[in-house]
Amino acid sequence: MRVLHLLGATEDIGGILSVIRNLQTATADLGVEHVVWVNQAYREVRRPALTYRFSCHLLGESANHFQLLWRSVRAIGELKAQLAVEPFDVLQAHSRGALFLTAGVAVLWHRPILYTNHAYARRLGPYRWAARRRHMRTSLLTPNMARHYGLSPEADRVAIISECCADGFFSAPLVSRRERKAGAPLRLVGLGNIYHTKKWHLLVEAIAQLDEAERRQIEFHHWGPVPEAPGCAAYDRQLRGLIQSGGVTGCCRLHGATLSAEETLREADWFVLPSTNEPCSVALIEALALGVPALVSASGGNVDIVQSGRTGRLFAPDDVTSLRDTLRLVLRDEKPMATPAEIRESVRARSAKAVADQYCRLYEELSPPTRAV
């Protein structure tokens, strides 16, 4: 079976591409071939390598909705030409730009399309419309995402399939829960892009509000690139300025990109993710799969993944005071009740193998008897 993932990405910065890489590895022995349609500006920097096809027009994301729509319209003919020379059994779209494209494909060609929604959008109409189309299937990442869009997981054309992390995280040795010695800092690790929606500034502000003695007990280490998307470089400057002005240069450190998530997460006492309505963080699943507890906002996919007081702690979204007070709970050594092994088991169903099995069943349902366009 051949699956064409319609994405239109311009950068290789993880996220959806990490999930596709995990699916590729998990389905290698099942005869499933994954090919990714990206923008011609895309350059691969991560491993394992994926197989690509390049579009002149498709753009995955943009703040300009009219640009996304116009590029998608132009990409319809481009996609038809691609499928004429290289047939695929399943078309799976992942981005906003690809949603517009595949909606056109489903309406014009009456070909089954799978749209996997990876975002908490403010405009709900297009996603609800897509979920009702006869030739489209929608997959959402968590039950909370289904509630956000007002879609029923029991509906014929709606499924809930989580993001996934590589199976290797579940076979790797668990982290050892270290007993903190007197004076040893609590090590918080954040993993993700320097992007304003990740809200790393909330954590910096919360640490700055701690007493000086409390700040000496914390180290925050962030790993992640500064994407080329508009506003990211400015947010990076803002974040570094906030660390300087908040007087937390000694305990907040930005290290840049890493290609070794497992090694980075093994250095953590706690994983931290301050973003609001994070859809379904792969890095969060990776941390829990290693047995690392997580400190996250009570929003988005987090509420379906982290069990507060057991596998981590939840704080009120966008609330610096709540995050500060939750940090104080963690500093007082009020650890999750679960052991590292129990934390791992809490996300076992989000392993690449488990998620790939769900997708393969859906692929079989969508695969037409012939490969005609």
Q: What is the pLDDT of residues 354-364, one digit of tens each?
A: 999 999 999 99
Closest CA to 294 of 269, 318, 321, 257: 269
Domain range spanning residue 156? 2-164+351-366
How many domains are contained in the chain?
A: 2
Question: In whole angstroms, what separates CA 194 from the centre of its chain?
Answer: 14
Please enumerate in sequence order all residues whose Cβ is within 8 A of that of 13, keeping only pairs 6 or more positions apart, or say none.
193, 225, 227
Closest CA to 7 of 123, 142, 102: 102
CATH number at residue 100: 3.40.50.2000
Q: Are residue 10 and residue 141 in the same domain, yes or no?
A: yes
Q: Are residue 22 and residue 140 in the same domain, yes or no?
A: yes
**What is the rounded end-to-end Cα distance, in angstroms, of the chain?**
15
Express each pLDDT in 287-322 by its tens digit: 999 999 999 999 999 999 999 999 999 999 999 999
Dihedral over alpha carbons 133, 64, 149, 281 (to 10 degrees)? 110
Residue 372: predicted pLDDT:
43
Angstrom distance (rounded) from CA 71 to CA 273: 33
Angstrom distance (rounded) from CA 127 to CA 110: 18
Q: Are residue 281 and residue 322 in the same domain, yes or no?
A: yes
Residue 24: predicted pLDDT:
97
The structure tokens listed for 243 are 């660390």
Residue numbers of the chain with a pLDDT score lower than 50: 371-373
The structure tokens listed for 113 are 């399309």
Q: Are residue 141 and residue 245 in the same domain, yes or no?
A: no
Global pTM?
Answer: 0.95
Q: Are residue 76 and residue 93 in the same domain, yes or no?
A: yes
The DSSP line for 92-144 is EE-SHHHHHHHHHHHHHH---EEEE--S--S--HHHHHHHH-TTEEEEESSHH
DSSP-based three-state secondary structure for 272: strand
Burial class (CB in 10 A: 0-12, 13-18, 19+), 268: buried
Residue 373: predicted pLDDT:
43
Q: Are residue 203 and residue 121 in the same domain, yes or no?
A: no
Three-state secondary structure readout of 282-343: HHHHHHHHCCCCEEEECCCCHHHHCCECCCEEEECCCCHHHHHHHHHHHHCCCCCCCCHHHH
Q: Are residue 345 and residue 359 in the same domain, yes or no?
A: no
Q: Are residue 95 and residue 223 in the same domain, yes or no?
A: no
Specify if 121 maps to a domain: yes
Specify if 29 maps to a domain: yes
Specify if 372 maps to a domain: no
Specify if 204 maps to a domain: yes
